[in-house]
Amino acid sequence: MDAYDIFKKLTKGLSFKKPVLGVKNNQQKTKQETLKQEIEIKKEELSDFEDVAEIENDLENSQPSSGSEEEELELVDGVKVGKKKRGKKKKEITEDLKKKLLQEEENRFRNEHGIKAVGRHIPPALKDFSDLTVRYNVPQALVDTVTQCGYSEPTPVQRQAMACMLEDRQIVACAPTGSGKTAAFIVPLLHTLGTHQGGPRALILCPTRELAHQIYREALRLSASTQLRVTVVKNLKESKVKEREATFRKSDIVISTPNRLCYLLNQDQVNISLEKVRWLIIDEADKLFEGSSEQESDFRQQLEQIMCRCGPKRLIAMFSATHTPPVARWSRRHLRGLVNVTVGHRNAATSLVEQQLLYCGNEDGKLVAFRQLVQQGLKPPVLVFVQSKDRAKQLFKELIYDGINVDVIHADRTQAQRDNVVRSFRVGRIWVLISTELMGRGIDFRGVNLVINYDFPPSAISYVHRIGRAGRAGHRGRAVTFFTQDDVVNLRSIASVMKQSGCEVPEYMLRLKQDSNKRKRLLKKAPHRDKISTILEKPVKRKLEEGKDSNVNSKDTEKIKNGKHKKQRKIDGTKENGARRSTSEKENKRKKFKKNKKIKLTKKPKSGS
């Protein structure tokens, strides 16, 4: 006991005038500050919450009395000055501290997994799949099915989104491509819906038919241990509509594009109720909300129609790898108690893909660059993106005659053809698949090694999704993006995405001026490009002949010099010296095809037709 303490005890209950109090207060302040610091240090040292209350008590008990608190003091034998009861207050402090520490621990866990969650009372992220059973009573059989699918631990988006959905929280989740968003919403649905009752009680909307089928397959896989029925809306021929209606009613989960669903709902002979719908999932939400105004977005009207038909208790969850202002605005307005979940940086490309930009000069240069990539050795499967159906067809014609195992998918192909192509690509019968933006989103082809953006993507968002077809579920991939002078408008935004995901890009690209009007125009209308065709314009040809172009190897140059290179055509379509492969089987087929086409065109229409 020092002089100060003796003095304090002796003067207990007496009041002093300012000068003495001032000294005392200063001393108390410094003591309190030291104590606070001590508590903070101890808190940081704590790793186990259980001990917190105990240590907090110890610290508080060792705390010297402050001016406002009375201390038990024996003045004369048996005469005691009372002490304030602090038990209740202490308990409150301990509870508060416990909560704070739990929250801190939760935040630390989220940070470790790159999860950001914004909203009120956010459910803690799952530590592993067994948390599903412990915290939410999810049947062990369902958890076992998840692990049997090869999912040993939840991905970051699954950790947070599953917990939110299982606590009936509406969410907007934005997580990198290939990070398991599909399972993130399917597993909670399977648990929430419980037993088979029909309905439907959950609707999943997505932008393309291909994606709907893929989600359907994943839902089937994950629901193997349940009695729930899952269906995908397909084939809406008049004759089949009644049949579809029946299947629809018997299903617990229905997957569809908004177009198909609204078409079915609006059929006169169909009477479908969405009253029982509990969950409405919108996958690739930003794609569906594309268009800056309500008039531009058909989807918003379709969504309103669907939402009006659903019961008042329906909940909404939106998922995508990219997040745009229209989605943010809409969700803020319509989703009560919303939790915004973001994994990593918003609108960032997956870090699993090694990205590269390749300047090709012009359209001919692109074809040369493509062939060079082939010569260097492509590791299939390879996905090639072009900007339109016409260009997809043109590139296909070029590559098929190069003997590449290639096919093409675009909106002009029949459903059967599209299904067939997707199946063949999945099983490895096709090595190179040319596609329009149709396959740019959501499609999960396991193990795509290389994505080639033959035509520059119309926006950074499109770029993120396209290259995200590679580097999925933890596997690494590569993306090569061709560009010409015509693509400079969007070059900076794409270079920035690359830089953000850790790729090297030339500094000048990040400093390029951006013309927002031009960029908006490009979003609405793709730039005009020359036809994809093996036309060697003079400067390129000269370079090739001189072997100056770094994109061309010596073999090519040799062939060009000897006039033996494949298929050179002039702009007017006549063949150049040495370009014909009259002996080749493929060339014969081509001639035959042309001949047949001519015959068809010159045939007189039948009378009466």
Ligand X SMILES: Nc1ncnc2c1ncn2[C@@H]1O[C@H](COP(=O)(O)OP(=O)(O)OP(=O)(O)O)[C@@H](O)[C@H]1O
* Least distance between ligand X and beta carbon 448 (Å): 11
Among residues 528, 531, 540, the alpha carbon closest in space to that of 572 is found at 531
Among residues 316, 375, 367, the alpha carbon closest in space to that of 185 is found at 316
Q: What would the two tokens of residue 228 be?
A: 């729930």
Q: Which stretch binds ligand X (CB under 6 A): 55-63, 134-142, 175-183, 351-359?
A: 175-183
Rg for the chain, CA atoms, rounded: 34
Q: Which is nearer to ligand X, 169 or 465 (CB)?
A: 465
Give the residue closest to ligand X by C-beta.
180
Q: Which stretch binds ligand X (CB under 6 A): 31-39, 170-178, 229-237, 513-521?
A: 170-178
- Pick the binder of ligand X from 189, 265, 310, 321 (CB under 6 A): 321
* Least distance between ligand X and beta carbon 591 (Å): 42
- Pick the binder of ligand X from 156, 361, 440, 442 (CB under 6 A): 442
Q: Which stretch binds ligand X (CB under 6 A): 107-115, 146-154, 487-495, 535-543?
A: 146-154
Q: Is 180 in the site for ligand X (CB under 6 A)?
A: yes
Q: Which stretch binds ligand X (CB under 6 A): 303-311, 362-370, 438-446, 551-559?
A: 438-446
* Least distance between ligand X and beta carbon 91 (Å): 41
Binding mask 449-468 for ligand X (x = CB under 6 A): -------------------x
* Bridge partners for 73 per DSSP: 81
* Least distance between ligand X and beta carbon 469 (Å): 7
* CA dist list (Å): 105 to 129, 156, 514: 19, 16, 43
Q: Which is nearer to ligand X, 127 or 531 (CB)?
A: 127
What torsion do the CA atoms of 546, 548, 553, 556 make, to the nearest 10 degrees?
-30
Q: Is 436 in the site for ligand X (CB under 6 A)?
A: no
Q: Which is nearer to ligand X, 361 or 458 (CB)?
A: 458
The DSSP code for 281 is: E
Return d(Cα 300, Cα 327) in angstroms, integer.
Answer: 11
Return d(Cα 185, Cα 174) in angstroms, integer.
Answer: 13
Q: Do 490 and 526 touch, CB atoms closer than 8 A?
A: no
Q: Is 244 in the site for ligand X (CB under 6 A)?
A: no
* Least distance between ligand X and beta carbon 502 (Å): 19
Q: Which is nearer to ligand X, 449 or 533 (CB)?
A: 449
* Least distance between ligand X and beta carbon 144 (Å): 14
The DSSP code for 595 is: H
Q: Return the H-helix or E-strand segment holding 451.
A: strand 450-453
Q: Which stretch binds ligand X (CB under 6 A): 3-11, 394-402, 440-448, 570-578?
A: 440-448
Query: Which residues have C-beta within 8 Å of that of residue 338, sequence separation ≥ 6?
Result: 119, 169, 170, 171, 172, 331, 332
Q: Do 516 and 473 touch, CB atoms closer than 8 A?
A: no
Return d(Cα 235, Cα 415) in angstroms, integer.
Answer: 9
Q: Is 154 in the site for ligand X (CB under 6 A)?
A: yes
- Pick the binder of ligand X from 151, 385, 456, 482 (CB under 6 A): 151
DSSP H helices in 17-86: 18-45, 50-61
Q: Do 343 and 157 touch, CB atoms closer than 8 A?
A: yes
Q: Do 441 and 461 touch, CB atoms closer than 8 A?
A: no
Return d(Cα 144, Cα 307) in angstroms, integer.
Answer: 34
* Least distance between ligand X and beta carbon 262 (Å): 23
* Least distance between ligand X and beta carbon 467 (Å): 10
- Pick the binder of ligand X from 28, 170, 177, 251 (CB under 6 A): 177
* Least distance between ligand X and beta carbon 231 (Å): 19
Q: Is 381 in the site for ligand X (CB under 6 A)?
A: no
Q: Which stretch binds ligand X (CB under 6 A): 76-84, 180-188, 552-560, 594-602?
A: 180-188
Q: Do 204 and 185 touch, CB atoms closer than 8 A?
A: yes
- Pick the binder of ligand X from 145, 155, 436, 462 (CB under 6 A): 155
Q: What would the two tokens of residue 156 be?
A: 């970051």
Q: Which stretch binds ligand X (CB under 6 A): 69-77, 178-186, 267-275, 516-524?
A: 178-186
* Least distance between ligand X and beta carbon 322 (Å): 9
- Pick the binder of ligand X from 115, 122, 164, 183 (CB under 6 A): 183
Scan residues 469-508 and list those touching ligand X (CB under 6 A): 472-473
* Least distance between ligand X and beta carbon 347 (Å): 12
Q: Do 179 and 156 touch, CB atoms closer than 8 A?
A: yes
* Least distance between ligand X and beta carbon 183 (Å): 5
Do β-strands 253-256 and 230-232 pair in parallel, antiparallel, or remain unpaired? parallel
Across 234-347, where does the E strand assignment appear? 253-256, 279-283, 315-320, 339-343
- Write the single-letter amino acid at 445: F
Return d(Cα 57, Cα 66) in angstroms, integer.
Answer: 16
* Least distance between ligand X and beta carbon 257 (Å): 15
Q: Is 207 in the site for ligand X (CB under 6 A)?
A: no
Q: Which is nearer to ligand X, 395 or 409 (CB)?
A: 409
Q: Which is nearer to ligand X, 281 or 382 (CB)?
A: 281
Q: Do 257 and 277 touch, CB atoms closer than 8 A?
A: no
Query: Which residues have C-beta within 8 Å of that of residue 553, sequence separation ≥ 6?
Result: 372, 375
Q: Which is nearer to ligand X, 210 or 364 (CB)?
A: 210
Q: Do 323 and 286 touch, CB atoms closer than 8 A?
A: yes
Q: How many residues interact with ligand X (rule CB under 6 A)?
A: 20
Question: Is the CA virtual torsion 327, 311, 120, 317 positive or negative?
Answer: negative
Q: Which stretch binds ligand X (CB under 6 A): 172-180, 363-371, 393-401, 599-607?
A: 172-180
Q: Which stretch binds ligand X (CB under 6 A): 28-36, 102-110, 151-159, 538-546?
A: 151-159
Residues that bind ligand X (CB under 6 A): 150-151, 154-155, 158, 175, 177-183, 321, 442, 444, 446, 468, 472-473
